[in-house]
Amino acid sequence: MPISKKDRIQREHKKADKAGTRAPVKANGLPVKAPKPTSICQNCRREMVNTNKVQLEAHALTHDQKMWPKEKCWPEVYPSDGAAN
Ligand SMILES: [Zn+2]
């Protein structure tokens, strides 16, 4: 009986474990990507990658600028209480 894909992946994992080269993978064998840091918009609760400030600012512009400037949408990213100093 030929080995299944699962068995083959498990064998590769064991081999990589011994060699110390095993990359983290999910149960389905796909590599686990490092999670991107995200922030949740305080207005609409949309979760966005917070390293992309252009995107965050563009998102903030979709809200009323008087009520929801980017500092209110993303307080962790744009602290407005002077903590930046
Ligand atoms: Zn929003």
Residue 82 Cα to ligand 1 midpoint, Å, equals 23
Residue 48 Cα to ligand 1 midpoint, Å, equals 9
Residue 2 lies in a domain: no
Residue 58 lies in a domain: yes
Neighbours of ion ligand 1 (CB under 5 A): 41, 43-44, 46
Q: How many helices (H) and strands (E) does the chain have?
A: 3, 2
Residue 80 lies in a domain: no
Residue 9 lies in a domain: no
pTM: 0.56
pLDDT number for residue 45: 97
Q: pLDDT band at residue 49, thresholds of 50, 70 and 90?
A: very high
pLDDT tens digits for range 62-75: 999 899 999 999 99
Secondary structure (3-state) at 15: helix
Residue 57 lies in a domain: yes
Burial of 82 (0-12, 13-18, 19+ CB in 10 A): exposed
Residue 34 Cα to ligand 1 midpoint, Å, equals 25
Domain interval for residue 64? 38-73
Residue 79 Cα to ligand 1 midpoint, Å, equals 16
Residue 13 lies in a domain: no
Residue 68 lies in a domain: yes
